[in-house]
């Protein structure tokens, strides 16, 4: 068997560029859009509508991607990144409020469509026995997220919000060709050739009926991500509520992203201790605790300290879930599987930002964080209940 090239370095670069773009679009959305004249409620509505649209598109696009033979998944990803670069350029050149809203919505849709495709690229490597340390690559993404948080916090305070779309244009213009060249010309050993696997296992059964254990898990994880996305989408208002500023928000996000790194980088070692299902359970408890302690945080020092719950919460989940879904879902449906579980984040954005923006405008950040705590607690309880029942994991590639 020929020695396979290691995909980790290039996929690490892809993850780094992607999560820097994610930081700008999601974590700095309030900073950018408030400066452009949008209210908290309008920001929540804008993000919610884009998330609803992407939630509808994700399974449809993934179902098509699962059946791709002539067009490589990397080419689809590169096309999405190129469209993002054009939309970001539009934010700079087209100042009208309606155009800004439309372009920002389109950017969020494209960003969320790209997420499950990147997960599937990584799992395709592993399923085809190409060396890839996904946890390390994802951990590097967390590190660059922190770098983007700190850098954009300082630059925005110094030069204004225009620095955000400028940075986004640069990142996506590098990301597109990096994705396009994510290929290997050497022989790739496959236990089952992809085309034969697809043709041999076609099924007319709808995805959620084919995997009846999935819907309850999707409800639970959607609630957990509702809680998480409140903390992620409104960091400026949360920090402002305890006397902080934009620069302190950048510091908070930097600490948060640093806390993401250990669980991601060391996840291959954690898998030797317990399976991915166990680590998904652990993460649900930390999602809840993160929201609860943010709600009662007395000051910036405490708030920064509890960001290390990200290590055992979101950071742990985001790696464990990719492996869990890869084990749970059959090969012909794995892009769809990643898309459905990625869609929970999208649903979380919809609920978190729409209800969150409304609560902020009416009662302030305390009501916002109370809602985050309730949804996090409900998601944790439902997920632990759902995973008490045996779930058949598939190990075939």
Assigned domain for 392 exists: no
Assigned domain for 271 exists: yes
For the chain, counts of helices (H) and of strands (E): 19, 0
Please give the pLDDT value at position 190. Answer: 43
Mean pLDDT along residues 155-161 = 88
Domain of 180 in residue numbering reads as 8-386
CATH for 202: 1.20.1250.20
Supply φ then ψ for residue 190, to 5 degrees. Answer: -130, 135
Per the CB < 8 A criterion, the answer to whether 197 and 332 are in contact is yes
Relative orientation angle of helices 134-159 and 246-265, to the nearest 10 degrees: 170
Mean pLDDT along residues 157-165 = 89
Assigned domain for 18 exists: yes
Confidence of residue 370 (pLDDT cuts 50, 70, 90): very high
- How many angstroms separate the CA atoms of 166 and 85, rounded? 10
> What share of the chain has pLDDT > 70, as a percent?
89
Assigned domain for 394 exists: no
Q: What is the pTM assigned to this prediction? A: 0.73
Assigned domain for 2 exists: no
Please give the pLDDT value at position 189. Answer: 40
Assigned domain for 257 exists: yes
Residue 203 has pLDDT above 70, yes or no: no
Residue 229 has pLDDT above 50, yes or no: yes
Tell me the torsion sign for CA atoms 375, 346, 368, 308.
positive
Assigned domain for 254 exists: yes
Q: How far apart are the first and last CA of the chain?
A: 18
Assigned domain for 395 exists: no
Domain count within the chain: 1
Mean pLDDT along residues 43-49 = 82
Task: Give tens-digit pLDDT for 59-72.
Answer: 777 777 666 655 67
Per the CB < 8 A criterion, the answer to whether 101 and 94 are in contact is no
> What share of the chain has pLDDT > 90, as a percent?
28
Please give the pLDDT value at position 116. Answer: 82
Mean pLDDT along residues 183-209 = 52
């Amino acid at each position: 068997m020929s020695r396979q090239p290691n995909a980790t370095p290039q996929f690490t670069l892809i993850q780094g560029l992607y999560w820097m773009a994610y930081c700008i679009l999601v974590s700095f959305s309030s900073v950018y859009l408030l400066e452009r004249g949008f209210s908290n409620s309008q920001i929540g509505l804008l993000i919610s509508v884009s998330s609803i649209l992407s939630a509808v598109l994700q399974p449809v696009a993934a179902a098509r991607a699962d059946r791709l033979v002539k067009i490589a998944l990397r080419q689809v990803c590169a096309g999405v990144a190129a469209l993002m670069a054009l939309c970001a350029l539009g934010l700079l050149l087209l100042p009208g409020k309606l155009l800004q809203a439309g372009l920002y919505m389109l950017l969020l849709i494209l960003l969320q469509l790209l997420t499950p495709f990147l997960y599937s690229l990584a799992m395709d490597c592993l399923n085809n026995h190409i060396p890839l340390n996904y946890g390390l690559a994802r951990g590097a993404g967390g590190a660059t997220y922190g770098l983007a948080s700190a850098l954009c916090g300082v630059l925005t305070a110094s030069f204004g919000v225009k620095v955000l779309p400028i940075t986004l244009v640069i990142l996506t213009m590098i990301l597109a060709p990096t994705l396009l060249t994510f290929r290997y010309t050497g022989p790739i050993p496959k236990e089952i050739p992809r085309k034969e696997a697809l043709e041999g296992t076609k099924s007319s059964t709808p995805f959620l009926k084919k995997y009846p254990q999935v819907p309850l898990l999707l409800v639970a994880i959607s609630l957990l991500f509702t809680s998480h996305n409140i903390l992620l989408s409104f960091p400026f208002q949360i920090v402002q509520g305890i006397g902080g500023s934009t620069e302190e928000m950048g510091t908070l996000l930097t600490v948060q992203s640093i806390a993401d790194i250990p669980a991601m980088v060391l996840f291959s070692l954690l898998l030797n201790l317990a399976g991915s299902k166990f680590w998904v359970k652990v993460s649900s408890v930390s999602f809840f605790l993160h929201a609860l302690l943010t709600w009662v945080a007395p000051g910036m020092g405490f708030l920064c300290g509890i960001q290390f719950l990200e290590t055992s919460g979101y950071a742990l989940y985001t790696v464990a879930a990719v492996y869990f879904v890869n084990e749970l879902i059959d090969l012909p449906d794995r892009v769809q599987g990643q898309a459905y579980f990625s869609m929970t984040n999208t649903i979380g954005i919809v609920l978190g930002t729409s209800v969150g923006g409304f609560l902020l405008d009416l009662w302030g950040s305390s009501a916002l964080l109370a809602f985050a705590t309730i949804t996090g607690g409900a998601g944790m309880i439902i997920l632990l209940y759902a995973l008490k029942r045996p779930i058949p994991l598939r190990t075939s590639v």
